[in-house]
Protein backbone atom coordinates (compact mmCIF):
# COMPACT_ATOMS: atom_id res chain seq x y z
CA UNK A 1 0.00 0.00 0.00
CA UNK A 2 1.22 3.50 -0.75
CA UNK A 3 -0.10 7.02 -0.60
CA UNK A 4 0.53 10.40 -2.17
CA UNK A 5 2.14 12.79 0.26
CA UNK A 6 0.68 16.28 0.29
CA UNK A 7 -2.53 15.57 -1.62
CA UNK A 8 -4.65 17.45 0.92
CA UNK A 9 -2.31 20.45 0.70
CA UNK A 10 -2.56 20.34 -3.10
CA UNK A 11 -6.36 20.19 -2.93
CA UNK A 12 -6.45 23.09 -0.45
CA UNK A 13 -4.04 25.25 -2.45
CA UNK A 14 -5.10 24.50 -6.03
CA UNK A 15 -8.52 22.83 -5.80
CA UNK A 16 -9.79 19.30 -6.24
CA UNK A 17 -9.46 19.38 -10.04
CA UNK A 18 -5.70 19.74 -9.67
CA UNK A 19 -5.65 17.06 -6.96
CA UNK A 20 -7.55 14.73 -9.27
CA UNK A 21 -5.01 15.41 -12.02
CA UNK A 22 -2.23 14.51 -9.60
CA UNK A 23 -4.00 11.24 -8.75
CA UNK A 24 -4.39 10.39 -12.45
CA UNK A 25 -0.73 11.07 -13.20
CA UNK A 26 0.40 9.05 -10.19
CA UNK A 27 -1.79 6.13 -11.29
CA UNK A 28 -0.28 6.26 -14.79
CA UNK A 29 3.25 6.12 -13.40
CA UNK A 30 2.33 3.20 -11.15
CA UNK A 31 0.76 1.29 -14.05
CA UNK A 32 3.71 1.98 -16.35
CA UNK A 33 6.14 0.54 -13.82
CA UNK A 34 4.14 -2.63 -13.15
CA UNK A 35 3.96 -5.74 -15.28
CA UNK A 36 0.84 -6.74 -17.20
CA UNK A 37 -0.30 -9.26 -14.58
CA UNK A 38 0.07 -6.80 -11.69
CA UNK A 39 -2.83 -4.68 -10.52
CA UNK A 40 -2.80 -1.05 -9.40
CA UNK A 41 -5.92 0.06 -7.55
CA UNK A 42 -6.89 3.22 -5.74
CA UNK A 43 -8.49 2.23 -2.47
CA UNK A 44 -9.50 5.69 -1.32
CA UNK A 45 -8.35 9.25 -0.90
CA UNK A 46 -4.65 9.30 -1.64
CA UNK A 47 -4.06 5.57 -1.12
CA UNK A 48 -3.18 2.97 -3.74
CA UNK A 49 -2.53 -0.75 -3.43
CA UNK A 50 -0.40 -2.90 -5.74
CA UNK A 51 -1.29 -6.56 -6.22
CA UNK A 52 1.82 -8.41 -7.30
CA UNK A 53 1.01 -12.07 -8.02
CA UNK A 54 3.88 -14.53 -8.27
CA UNK A 55 6.24 -11.88 -6.89
CA UNK A 56 8.69 -12.55 -4.09
CA UNK A 57 10.03 -9.92 -1.69
CA UNK A 58 13.14 -9.22 -3.78
CA UNK A 59 11.08 -8.62 -6.93
CA UNK A 60 8.60 -6.46 -4.99
CA UNK A 61 11.46 -4.30 -3.75
CA UNK A 62 12.71 -3.93 -7.33
CA UNK A 63 9.25 -2.77 -8.43
CA UNK A 64 9.13 -0.26 -5.58
CA UNK A 65 12.55 1.05 -6.57
CA UNK A 66 11.44 1.44 -10.22
CA UNK A 67 8.39 3.39 -9.05
CA UNK A 68 10.54 5.65 -6.85
CA UNK A 69 12.95 6.33 -9.70
CA UNK A 70 10.10 7.03 -12.13
CA UNK A 71 8.35 9.44 -9.77
CA UNK A 72 11.55 11.22 -8.76
CA UNK A 73 12.68 11.58 -12.38
CA UNK A 74 9.42 13.35 -13.20
CA UNK A 75 10.00 16.02 -10.53
CA UNK A 76 6.78 17.59 -9.45
CA UNK A 77 3.73 16.41 -11.36
CA UNK A 78 2.02 19.79 -11.26
CA UNK A 79 3.71 23.12 -11.66
CA UNK A 80 2.00 26.17 -10.12
Annotated domain spans of the chain: 2-74
The dihedral region occupied by 78, where left means phi > 0, alpha psi between -120 and 50, and beta the remainder, is beta
Q: What is the pLDDT of residue 53?
A: 95
Distances (CA, A) of 64 to 11, 19, 49, 60: 26, 23, 12, 6
Q: What is the pLDDT of residue 80?
A: 47
Q: What is the pLDDT of residues 23-79, one digit of tens each?
A: 998 899 899 988 899 999 999 999 999 999 999 999 999 999 998 888 877 665 554
Written out in words, the top-level CATH class of the domain with range 2-74 is alpha beta
Q: Output phi, psi for 42, to 5 deg.
A: -85, 125
Amino acid sequence: MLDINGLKLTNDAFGHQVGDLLLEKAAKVLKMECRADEIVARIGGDEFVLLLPKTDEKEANQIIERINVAINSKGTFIKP
